[in-house]
A and B are shown apart, each in its own frame.
Chain A
Amino acid sequence: MPKHLLNPNKWIDLYADYLFNYTISRVNDREMAQDLVQETFLAGLKSMKNFKGEASERTWLISILKRKIIDHYRKINSSKGKAEVRITSNNDSETEGEWLEERVADPFDKTAEDSMQNTELGEAILNCLSKLPEKQAEVFRMKTIEGVDTEDICNELNITASNLWVIIHRARTAMALCLKENWF
C-alpha cells in the first residue's frame, strides 16, 4: 500500500504559495514563476498515475517543478545563445553592458550561501504557514507577507480590526513556535 496519496482538490490551497516562492527565488520573475507553477500543477494532474506514493505530495510536485525550471532555462539559453544577465548594482560606465560571465564577482553582492539560506528560510516559513488554520494563515499571509493594510483585510474578509489582531496574535505565536527549533 502506498505511503502517500494524492488529493489534487487541495493542491492550490496547500502548495501554490510554497511552489511559487520556490520558483521565484530561482527565476526572479513573478509572471514566469506563476506560469511555471501553473504548468507544474497541470503536469502533475496528467501524470497522477505515475505517482508511486513513496514521496509526499509536495516533494513529488517539487520534482516536477524542478524539471519545469530546468526546461525554462534551457529554452531561454537555446533561443538567445546564452543567458542575458546584466549587473545593475554597479554603474561603472566603462564596463556597463558587459556579460556577467566576463566580469569578476561583485564584492557587495550577497553570497550564494546567504541566498540559499534565505530560500530555505522562506520555504520553512511557508511550511509553517501551511500548518495554521485556514483563516489564521490567510490573515497572516495578507498582513505579514503581502503587507496589505489592516482596513483592506477587514473589508475583504469581513472581520473587525480587533478580531484581526486576535487572529494575528494567534498566528504569530504558532509561527514562532513552529520556526523556533531550527531558525531562532
Chain B
Amino acid sequence: MSKKLKIGIPCSEANLVCDKSQYKESSFLEKVRHHLHLLYCKACRDYAKTNNKLSSIIAQSKVRCMDKKNKECLKNVFDKALKKEKIN
C-alpha cells in the first residue's frame, strides 16, 4: 500500500517544526513542509523570524546556568543554614 505524501501542514504543525528546528531535531521532510508553509503564511513567517532571533541571541549571550545537581547541593546547604538562623 502506498503512503500518500502530505505536503501542506497546518500552522500548529509548522510552529512545532520551527521549534524543533531550533534544536536541530526536525527531519529533512519536515523542514521542506515547513518552508513550503512559510511561502503562503505570514503569521508563521513572523513566528519563525522571532524564533530564529531568540535562538541567535541566546547563543550570542553564552548564558550559563547552575546544573541541577549543584543547585540541589546548594539548596541543602542553604536550607540547613536557614533552619539554624531561624532557631537562633
B and A form one assembly: yes
Seen from chain A, the residues whose Cβ lies within 8 Å of a Cβ on chain B are 8-9, 11-12, 16-17, 20-21, 24, 30, 34, 37-38, 41-42, 45-46, 48, 118, 121-122, 125-126, 141-146, 150, 165, 168-169, 172, 175-176, 179-180, 183-184
Q: What is the 8 Å Cβ interface bit string for chain B, positions 60-88, against chain A (1 contact, 0 not)?
A: 11111111101100110110011001000
Contacts of B53 in A (CB 8 A): 176, 184
Q: Which of A17, A24, A118 makes the CB contact (< 8 A) with B60?
A: A118
Task: Give complex CA distance A118, B38 in Å.
Answer: 31
Residue B28 is within 8 A (CB to CB) of chain A in the complex: no
Provide a sorted-by-A list of 19 A–B residue pairs whose CB atoms are within 8 angstroms.
Answer: A8-B78, A16-B66, A16-B71, A17-B66, A20-B65, A21-B64, A34-B66, A38-B77, A41-B74, A42-B77, A125-B58, A142-B68, A143-B23, A169-B19, A172-B19, A176-B50, A179-B57, A180-B50, A183-B57
B54 contact from A9, A21, A118, A179, Cβ within 8 A? A179
Alpha-carbon separation in the docked complex, A156 to B25 (Å) = 19
Kindly provide the distance from the CB of B72 to the nearest chain A CB, expressed in whole angstroms. 9
Instruction: Contact check, B25 vs A150: say whether CB atoms are below 8 A apart.
Output: yes
Whether A21 pairs with B63 at a CB distance below 8 angstroms is yes
Chain A residues near B66: list those with CB within 8 A.
Answer: 16-17, 20, 34, 37
